[in-house]
Amino acid sequence: MSTLVDLAAEQDIRLPANLTDATALQVPANERGWFRFQRSYDAARKVVRSEEAMRRIVREAAADDAAEGSRRLELQIDPTSYAPFVGGITPALEIVLDEAASASQATGVEVAIIVAASRIKHPLDARTLARLAAKHAGDGPGQVVGFGLSNDERRGQTSQWAGAFQIARRAGLASVPHAGELLGPDHIREVVTHLQPTRLGHGVRAAEDPELLARIVDAGIALEVCPTSNVQLGVYDSPGDVPLRRLADAGAQVALGADDPLLFLSRLTDQYQIARDQGFSDAELAGFAKASITASLASAESKQCWLSEVDDWLAVNPSAD
């Protein structure tokens, strides 16, 4: 939050009170609620108007994750948001990739990038982004590892973005669209059918349909489950209602994530605490960590290293049974 305040002050931008009062955003799970969330998100993004500001966000995100003990950070970006301030979408992405590589060296956290299209923009714009992402495809720090689709799940027809995802997959990029938070199983089916995801951003509401959940498990599609987001966006009433146990018992590959720490004031370690509060053992929490590693888009060598670290933790933790 301090960075947000600093950047706003530098540009004489007045921030809405909800971004500076240290109170987590909480909205109902309807279109008005999403509008309030998006308005806050856009207000925060508005202060990022220069190359240095972009670099600072990436650099500090890596430092924050390093402080928590993370090993890999896959940041999602829509370069069109910053293109007007740095000369276009190509330099916008290249700035982020360059800083991701530098931040990786400085912090020890591998920082890779997911390029994401938006449901509120034309699907042809998504194809342009997919082609740009494809030029920088790879699995290491400072490279593009996946292609996503974000914003309000209720907007547009999912099939309209299939072409962009085909472009991305041909370049070896993983398909990582958002689905299954604001909308339920029927929408998840559409996304699985048309976008062929490697991971689903959220996907938590697959728990409402055992047949769909089994299909996701059989296909090896990982779920990026963000309990705090689910509550703050009104999908569930409390963290205890997030169906982590149902997902885990079904064999789903659950990768816990924080989604949006700035607006929800909750980071990755808080998501593990929510799982612990639901009764998950240390060994099961380690299983979530392993699932996050396996579901990451890192190299096989990096994954093996981090999986061994989790095993080492289990070996010395007397309560991990």
Name, in order, each residue with C-beta under 8 angstroms of 251's C-beta and a sequence gap of 6 or more: 217
CA dihedral angle for residue 271, residue 277, residue 280, residue 281, rounded to 10 degrees: 110
pTM for the complete prediction? 0.95
Indicate if 309 belongs to the active site.
no
Catalytic residue among 60, 181, 224, 284: 181
Give the total residue count for the chain. 321
Domain boundaries, given as residue ranges, for the chain: 1-47, 68-178, 180-320
Question: 280 and 37 in contact (C-beta within 8 Å)?
Answer: no
Q: Which residues contact 18 (CB under 8 A, 6 or more apart)?
A: 25, 40
Pairing of strands 174-175, 72-77: unpaired
Does the domain made of 180-320 have the CATH classification 3.20.20.30? no
Going residue by residue through the chain, which has 321 residues, state the pLDDT in tens, using 9 for 90 and above: 789 889 989 888 888 888 888 889 999 999 899 999 999 999 999 999 999 999 999 999 999 999 999 999 999 999 999 999 999 999 999 999 999 999 999 999 999 999 999 999 999 999 999 999 999 999 999 999 999 999 999 999 999 999 999 999 999 999 999 999 999 999 999 999 999 999 999 999 999 999 999 999 999 999 999 999 999 999 999 999 999 999 999 999 999 999 889 999 999 999 999 999 999 999 999 999 999 999 999 999 999 999 999 999 988 875 655
pLDDT at 2: 86
In contact, 175 and 196? CB cutoff 8 Å:
yes
